[in-house]
């Protein structure tokens, strides 16, 4: 087995370098486009109101949409390019400086959107008649409808402008601090018989190491290390959550969850039915955890064994082997999916190498200017990381479906709920196809383990994270929270989700420190959409099992349109009522069957 080093991504086709004329030209062009948009909003658009004709409003709306699409195309090229440097090397001062410069234009873009949103609210009664009068407006009818609805939750123009500017030195600054601190924190760790300097993401990845002693020592080292920066991270958490609470109150939001639901294009009835189904499934997951604990000789599972592999999982994939594994199983779903993934591998869209200064976790980002995506992961050779890679390739395929359908940037604005559809599908494709070809129960056990680890994270752990964030927001209304209090809340919520299946002496109270989603003012409750994505994607896979290849074309059309409807509207295309618990139960049944099989081996 070769010891190939996992690849780093290549963005030379976007811009030659950070200091290139091409980058500078696009950056200056974006500022020019913003100035022209600001002039249009302050001039021609401001002269129109509810007394203007539908034709005038239609023309002005089309003008706004075209300007926004041009600006967003540049934004979705410049920002990912800058993030590609910072996410892989937080020590890159040049990239950080240029990102800071870019963020000034980002504030102006945000302010322009808020002005436009307020304008949509002003002319709302004329928009139903105006939308059909112009082709561009008709093609963006959902965007217009959504903007009118969200115009109800705006402060005054001056207040919104000030909030956007202050965010650079408030929420955005706290978010950067958390990312920098956690990416640059590292430890000396005895691994493979020698002391190695490991970044915290690399240390966390050892939770899936095949040797229990390594997993236990990594868990203990993690718990010794986070207190070194706990005060700074607690300050960041308090700053972010306090800011969000204040702005929600001023904007007339019911609570922090209100805005998150609107961003997810979900209603509370849908969320409640999904959460209730998740709660009902917890005993099944507890059965899985206890069975797993018994495999390791425990009555209850200690946290360091939560991600432990089972079965014949000592085999470590090289990146080449992971690539071949994914391509082979993508082929079983669609030749187009395999061809797309191969293109991504062959053209260095993926940064997979673990190294100091690189952010933890995994993500996929669209680089709109070249119609491509880039994927970051921290590949360690485990089956879990192979699954993660398939997941992120699903996001990239989703982006590609929209590009091939020639969707505009406004039409490609998809919420987290729909954004997980293709990624969950790709994970399911890989593991389901692999399960069909197992040669022994031990091999089957290894694959089931990887799948159930992921599913447990999305259903059980995300449920605990949802409870954690909800309580933090509620308690932050009355006072700041200490690091100790944050740890107590996290442990309490883990007990509610994991029940008596985990050893309460060995939970992970420091989970709040390194999850970046908690530290974004724009991503409150960046958790329940993952559960939606898993169950929605699993439900669609069950439809695929019934329809076969005939499903694929409809599925790709659905992916192309996910920025143009609410979750309920998109689900209705497949006859799904998201407000009924039985839909969520159907998705969970597939997972419960996997648990039953796991427990029987």
Are 10 and 347 in contact by the 8 Å Cβ rule? The answer is yes
Query: For 550-567, how does the pLDDT look when each residue is reduced to its tens digit (9 = 90+)?
Result: 899 989 999 999 999 999
Decide if pLDDT at 1 tops 60.
no
What gap in Å lies between CA 412 and CA 561, rounded to an integer? 8
Query: For 309-347, how does the pLDDT look when each residue is reduced to its tens digit (9 = 90+)?
Result: 887 655 578 999 999 999 999 998 999 999 999 999 999
Handedness of CA 134, 136, 138, 144 (dihedral sign): negative
What gap in Å lies between CA 560 and CA 405, rounded to an integer? 6
> Coil, strand, or helix at residue 409?
coil
Which helix H or strand E contains 194, and what residues bound it? strand 194-199
Q: DSSP assignment, residue 167?
A: G
Quickly tell me which residue has 């993030």 as its tokens. Answer: 83
The pLDDT assigned to 2 comes to 40
Query: For 141-180, how does the pLDDT look when each residue is reduced to its tens digit (9 = 90+)?
Result: 999 999 999 999 999 989 998 998 999 899 999 999 999 9
β-strand 350-351 against 363-367: which pairing, if any?
unpaired
Closest to 511 (Cα-Cα) out of 334, 358, 361: 361
Largest pairwise CA distance in the chain: 78
Query: For 64-122, how does the pLDDT look when each residue is reduced to its tens digit (9 = 90+)?
Result: 999 999 999 999 999 999 999 999 998 999 999 999 999 999 989 989 999 999 999 99
What gap in Å lies between CA 6 and CA 509, rounded to an integer? 32
The confidence band for 405, taking pLDDT boundaries of 50, 70 and 90, is very high
Query: For 237-254, how does the pLDDT look when each residue is reduced to its tens digit (9 = 90+)?
Result: 999 999 999 999 999 999
Angle (nearest 5°) at CA 170 between 166 and 171: 115
What gap in Å lies between CA 371 and CA 14, rounded to an integer? 10
């Amino acid at each position: 087995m070769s010891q190939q080093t996992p690849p780093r991504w290549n963005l030379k086709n976007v811009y030659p370098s950070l200091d290139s004329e091409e980058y500078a030209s696009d950056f200056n062009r974006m500022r020019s486009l913003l100035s022209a948009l600001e002039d249009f909003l302050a001039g021609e658009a401001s002269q129109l109101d509810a007394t203007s004709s539908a034709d005038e409003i239609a023309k002005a709306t089309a003008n706004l949409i075209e300007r926004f699409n041009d600006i967003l195309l540049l934004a979705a090229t410049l920002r990912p390019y800058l993030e590609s440097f910072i996410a892989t090397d937080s020590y890159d001062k040049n990239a950080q400086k240029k990102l800071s410069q870019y963020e000034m234009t980002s504030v102006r873009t945000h302010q322009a959107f808020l002005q436009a949103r307020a304008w949509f609210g002003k002319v709302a009664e004329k928009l139903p008649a105006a939308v059909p009068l112009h082709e561009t407006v008709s093609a963006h009818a959902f965007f217009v409808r959504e903007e009118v609805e969200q115009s109800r939750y705006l402060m005054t123009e001056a207040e919104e402008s000030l909030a956007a500017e202050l965010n650079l030195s408030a929420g955005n600054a706290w978010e950067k601090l958390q990312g920098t601190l956690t990416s640059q924190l590292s430890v000396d760790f005895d691994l493979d018989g020698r002391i190695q300097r490991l970044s915290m993401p690399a240390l966390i990845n050892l939770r899936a190491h095949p040797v229990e002693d390594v997993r236990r020592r990594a868990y203990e080292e993690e718990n010794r290390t986070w207190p070194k920066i706990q005060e700074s991270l607690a300050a960041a958490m308090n700053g972010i959550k306090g800011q969000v609470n204040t702005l929600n109150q001023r904007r007339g939001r019911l609570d922090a969850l209100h805005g998150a639901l609107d961003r997810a294009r979900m209603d509370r009835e849908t969320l409640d039915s999904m959460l209730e189904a998740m709660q009902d499934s917890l005993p099944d997951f507890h059965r899985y955890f206890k069975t797993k604990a018994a495999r390791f000789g425990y009555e209850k599972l200690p946290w360091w064994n939560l991600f432990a592999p089972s079965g014949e999982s000592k085999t470590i994939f090289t990146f080449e082997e992971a690539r071949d594994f994914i391509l082979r199983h993508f082929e079983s779903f669609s030749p187009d999916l395999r061809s797309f993934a191969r293109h991504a591998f062959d053209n260095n869209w993926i940064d997979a190498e673990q190294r100091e200064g690189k952010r933890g976790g995994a993500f996929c980002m669209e680089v709109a200017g070249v119609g491509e995506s880039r994927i970051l992961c921290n590949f360690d050779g485990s089956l879990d990381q192979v699954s993660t890679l398939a997941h992120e390739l699903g996001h990239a395929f989703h982006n590609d479906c929209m590009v091939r359908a020639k969707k505009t940037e406004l039409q490609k604005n998809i919420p987290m709920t729909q954004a997980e559809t293709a990624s969950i599908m790709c994970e399911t494709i890989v593991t389901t196809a692999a399960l069909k070809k197992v040669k022994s129960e031990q091999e089957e056990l290894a694959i089931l383990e990887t799948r159930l680890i992921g599913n447990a994270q999305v259903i059980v752990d995300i449920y605990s994270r949802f409870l954690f964030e909800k309580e933090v927001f509620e308690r932050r209304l009355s006072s700041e929270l200490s690091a100790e209090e944050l740890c107590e809340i996290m442990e309490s919520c883990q007990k509610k989700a994991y029940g008596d299946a985990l050893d309460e002496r060995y939970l992970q109270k420091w989970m709040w420190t390194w999850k970046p989603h908690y530290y974004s003012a724009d991503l409150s409750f960046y958790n329940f959409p993952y559960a939606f994505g898993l169950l929605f994607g699993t439900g669609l896979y069950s439809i695929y099992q019934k329809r076969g290849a005939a499903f694929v074309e409809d599925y790709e059309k659905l992916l192309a349109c996910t920025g143009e409807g609410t979750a309920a509207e998109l689900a209705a295309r497949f006859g799904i009522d998201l407000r009924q618990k039985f839909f969520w139960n159907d998705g969970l049944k597939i997972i419960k069957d996997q648990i039953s099989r796991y427990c029987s081996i």
